[in-house]
Amino acid sequence: MDGPGDDHGLDDLRVSEDGLRRARVIAVGRNAAWIVASDEDEPRPASLRKGARHAMLAPGDLVEAQTIDGERVVIDAVLPRSFTLVRRTGGGRVKTMAANVDTIAIVAALVDPPLHFTMIDGLLAFAAQHDVAPLLLLTKADLAGEGAADRVSGLYRAIGVPTIVLQPKTGRGIDDLRTQLAARRALLVGNSGVGKSSIFRALGGIGVVGDLSRFGRGRQTTSTARLFRLGDGFLIDSPGIGEFTLDPMPATELAWLFPEMREPARACRFANCRHLSEPDCAVRAAVETGTIAPSRYASYAEIAVEGAT
């Protein structure tokens, strides 16, 4: 995983003498991608020139592309990445999730679909594991019980997670989100039905675009893509929340990804305590006293039992 650095001028509008134009990749299929040029708002399908450098594209990549015959767009090169977000698949292969991003923006509905704490906490742990900043966006507060939004947002703000309660139809939280995005390069993650489309409409971002099957060779796997751009910041929708899963790890390492567990874990009787059933566990004691939220511990335990080694 590369470290942060220069992003080669996201809003540089220059076109070189040979007609190359800089653009941002917002969705990827096989041998094709949806891109948005630096001086345009509408996405375009583009094919990858055979033999082009960095043949495996990822959302967030900055590319040089040109239009051929006044219509067909071809990607000639991918600029060096300032950051690469990768994960290992179950078979041990490395998969590039995104490039040049510094934030994972998690969208969760308070109701309809029901709030899924384990999903939120797993994605927060994923962000911590990959050293990218988290941003939590809570939707449908108007449909939840009184005080629900304040309780949930307070829980996550208490552990240092920036949290915004959004009601796109009324505009609640949208200005705050714009402010956050102005300095971030974020990947939007969330289950279907949580209001991602409403967020994009409220921001004025690009809507859903079509599939890539006509533009690339072979079967395409990505069918939608959206981008909101503000200054040097951007927000890219990322289909497929199941892709953001934690790598297998010992429970002791998993606990480190839950920041409120780090200090209590040092006081456990056993150095290799899994914080599940071991005697004299300071983490479980912190749950009982309310220092650690029960929902957060429940998420940890579920992830530890199902996926940790």
116 is in an annotated binding site: no
268 is in an annotated binding site: yes
Find out whether 244 and 98 touch, Cβ atoms under 8 Å.
no
223 is in an annotated binding site: no
Beta strands in the chain (DSSP E): 21-29, 32-37, 44-48, 62-68, 72-78, 84-88, 94-99, 103-109, 133-139, 163-165, 185-189, 227-230, 233-237
194 is in an annotated binding site: yes
240 is in an annotated binding site: no
φ/ψ (deg, to 5) at 259? -55, -30
191 is in an annotated binding site: yes
DSSP class of residue 192 equals T
Please tell me the distance from the alpha carbon of residue 142 to that of residue 148, in angstroms, as a whole number: 10
Alpha carbon 261 to chain centroid, angstroms: 23
207 is in an annotated binding site: no
Q: Which residue has the tokens 């790890």?
A: 249
3-state secondary structure of 19: coil
139 is in an annotated binding site: yes
Find out whether 173 and 167 touch, Cβ atoms under 8 Å.
yes
φ/ψ (deg, to 5) at 22? -80, 140
Find out whether 148 and 117 touch, Cβ atoms under 8 Å.
no
99 is in an annotated binding site: no
281 is in an annotated binding site: yes
Q: Are strands 185-189 and 233-237 parallel, antiparallel or unpaired?
A: parallel
204 is in an annotated binding site: no
233 is in an annotated binding site: no
Q: Which residue has the tokens 């829980």?
A: 155
Maximum pairwise Cα distance, the chain: 72
The alpha-helical segments, DSSP class H, found in 138-229 are 148-157, 174-181, 196-203
DSSP class of residue 223 equals -
273 is in an annotated binding site: yes
Annotated binding site for Zn(2+): 268, 273, 275, 281
Annotated binding site for GTP: 139-142, 190-198
Annotated binding site: 139-142, 190-198, 268, 273, 275, 281
